[in-house]
Chains A and B, each alone.
Chain A
Amino acid sequence: DAKTTQPNSMESNEEEPVHLPCNHSTISGTDYIHWYRQLPSQGPEYVIHGLTSNVNNRMASLAIAEDRKSSTLILHRATLRDAAVYYCILRDFNSGYALNFGKGTSLLVTP
């Protein structure tokens, strides 16, 4: 799978928007951008994914740069429950079945 780069950690205040960046400069045309998160002592949880266009769902929004070399996961109003490690990964039809999370971004949300 193509490599992604994320900051090790970010901090946000509760009820403020959070923008989590991901760089993927070697992305190919067939790579989908997936985001998962893992709350403490829980299994990973799917957040959102996209290919070229920006995507919205009930959890978050995904903004994809026009050249697709970077993307941003947007949490519109962070809550304490959003404190987790967020993983950005690229997947295409040739990817192995295993999800290979990198170190991700550890998000701290303060009241």
Chain B
Amino acid sequence: DVKVTQSSRYLVKRTGEKVFLECVQDMDHENMFWYRQDPGLGLRLIYFSYDVKMKEKGDIPEGYSVSREKKERFSLILESASTNQTSMYLCASSTFGGRTETQYFGPGTRLLVL
């Protein structure tokens, strides 16, 4: 079975802190994604990566950056956390077959910024 793991299930941070969310997949997938999910707004794509060191902005990249130094690992960085970044963060991965490929999600990190 595909396994996508995220470094924390719950995280509490203070405004202005730098926050690292890490995601690891064990299926040798080329694509990796970071989404956030908020009630009433559904899933929104923050960034995705199609290869090591390659990244593309999603729909809401402002306030976030990403890093992909190894194929299996994709990190989301909140440079200076703000209260409006309180959300559920979801990592996903897929093979490189195109937009019809299945995305496999991690369990999510619920981030609270105080």
Contacts and interface: CB of A to CB of B under 8 A. Distances in A.
Do A and B originate from a single complex?
A: yes
Interface in B37-76: 42-45, 48, 56, 58-59
Contact of A98 (B58, B91, B98, B100): B58
Given A98-B35, A99-B43, A100-B43, A91 B108 contact: no
A93 B105 contact: no
B45 A98 contact: yes
B108 A32 contact: no
A88 B45 CA distance: 18
Interface residues of B, number: 26
B100 A46 contact: no
A93 B106 CA distance: 24
B45 A44 contact: no
B31 A42 contact: no
A102 B42 contact: yes
Instruction: List the 3 shortest-distance A-B pairs measured between CB atoms, nearest first.
Output: A43-B105, A98-B45, A95-B99
